[in-house]
């Protein structure tokens, strides 16, 4: 709080590690201003710690300070038998201790979540990862903190190379800020030069590239999908081809507005289907289904190397 009062406990929960780090840094800074934390703090790992040890630390009185800080990382790894003593403690917590729990995910139905939520509206701190549409703005904001501006293309390329991990994105932007000279915006060429491609392409990105009839992008994706199974990719491609055939049929009948209901998908998932469907003739799509059947048979019978057979099918389809 602004007047340096604190709730007895906070739960910082979400898969955005950068946000969790920022919350922890701010809390530590606020509490350390009230006394020396080297004498007034304890840190536990929820994967190993016992609930009774955490409660004992919470009940310890501060030394030459107004507040003690007890930190529990990986709080979602606490066993029920270990978080139950914490739930009981929070019914009558020590007024001179702040208990800070950090978790990637924790069910709202769990007793621990409910016990902390009951302490006040600010007790639960949401650190969920940003949605894909919000990530470019977040990257631009992080860059601004390092005195950088990035072109839109540079932001998109950085996300493609690094992925959605905000800690990794922050690390790359910090590295770029140390080498970037001048006031010009960081462009795609600079990202390509300085940032290693460490993020694996998602299967849906490959299927979208296939739907867009983009051979270059498909090859690029395949080179950055080491863990993707060719069988799963072929199945996903076949599903998309069927969706495009249905889209073409509805377009011919001027009934494409019913596409989300026909496919059983939300509207946002099919917003590009009409554009993609125009990239292929119905005969081309039907032929791709036939060749996909033959390719799958060759892959499963051992008559062909699965990866090579799938790549050949993709190139023939896009030729």
- Which among 264, 217, 218, 219 is positioned nearest to 242, based on CA atoms? 264
Alpha helices, DSSP H, located in 109-258: 111-117, 135-145, 152-162, 166-179, 188-194, 203-211, 215-222, 230-252
Say what the pTM is. 0.64
Distance between CA 270 and CA 247 in Å, rounded?
9
The arithmetic mean of pLDDT across residues 49-71, rounded, is 94
How much is the CA Rg of the chain, to the nearest whole Å? 26
pLDDT at 133 over 80: yes
Residue 201 is predicted with a pLDDT of 84
Residue 2 is predicted with a pLDDT of 59
Residue 224 is predicted with a pLDDT of 85
Asked if 75 and 42 count as a contact pair (C-beta separation under 8 A), the reply is no
Q: For a pLDDT cut of 90, what percent of the chain falls above it?
A: 82
Residue 1 is predicted with a pLDDT of 61
pLDDT tens, 295-314? 999 999 989 999 999 999 99
pLDDT tens, 221-276? 998 888 889 999 999 999 999 999 999 999 999 999 999 999 999 998 999 999 99
Burial class of residue 74 (count of CB atoms within 10 Å of its CB; 0-12, 13-18, 19+)? middle
The arithmetic mean of pLDDT across residues 13-37, rounded, is 92
pLDDT at 16 over 80: yes
Distance between CA 92 and CA 95 in Å, rounded?
9
pLDDT band at 3 (very low <50, low <70, confident <90, very high): low
Lookup result for tokens 């009558």: 92
pLDDT at 181 over 70: yes
């Amino acid at each position: 709080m602004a007047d340096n009062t604190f709730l007895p406990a906070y739960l910082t929960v979400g898969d955005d590690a950068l946000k969790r780090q920022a919350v922890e840094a701010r809390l530590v800074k606020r509490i350390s201003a009230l006394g020396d934390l080297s004498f007034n703090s304890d840190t536990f790992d929820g994967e190993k710690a016992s609930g009774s040890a955490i409660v004992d630390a919470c009940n310890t009185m501060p030394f030459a300070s107004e507040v003690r800080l007890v930190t529990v990382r990986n709080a979602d790894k606490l066993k029920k038998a270990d978080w139950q003593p914490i739930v009981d403690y929070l019914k009558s917590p020590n007024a001179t201790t702040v208990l800070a729990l950090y978790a990637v995910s924790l069910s709202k139905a769990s007793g621990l979540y409910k016990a902390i939520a009951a302490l006040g509206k600010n007790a639960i701190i949401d650190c969920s990862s940003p949605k894909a549409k919000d990530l470019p703005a977040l990257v631009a904001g992080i860059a601004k903190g390092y005195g950088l501006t990035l072109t839109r293309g540079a932001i998109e390329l950085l996300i493609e190379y690094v992925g959605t991990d905000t800690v990794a994105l922050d690390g790359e932007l910090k590295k770029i800020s140390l080498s970037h000279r001048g006031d010009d915006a960081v462009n795609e060429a600079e990202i390509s030069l300085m940032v290693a491609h460490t993020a694996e392409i998602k299967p849906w990105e490959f299927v979208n590239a296939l739907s867009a009839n983009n051979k270059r992008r498909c090859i690029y994706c395949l080179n950055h999908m080491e863990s993707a199974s060719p069988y799963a990719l072929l199945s996903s491609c076949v599903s998309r081809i069927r969706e495009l055939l249905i889209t073409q049929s509805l377009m011919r009948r001027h009934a494409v507005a019913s596409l989300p209901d026909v496919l059983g998908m939300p509207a946002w998932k099919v917003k590009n289907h009409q554009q993609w469907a125009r990239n292929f003739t119905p005969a081309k799509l039907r032929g791709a289904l036939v060749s996909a059947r033959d390719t799958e048979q060759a892959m499963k019978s051992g008559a062909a190397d699965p990866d090579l057979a799938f790549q050949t099918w993709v190139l023939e389809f896009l030729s």
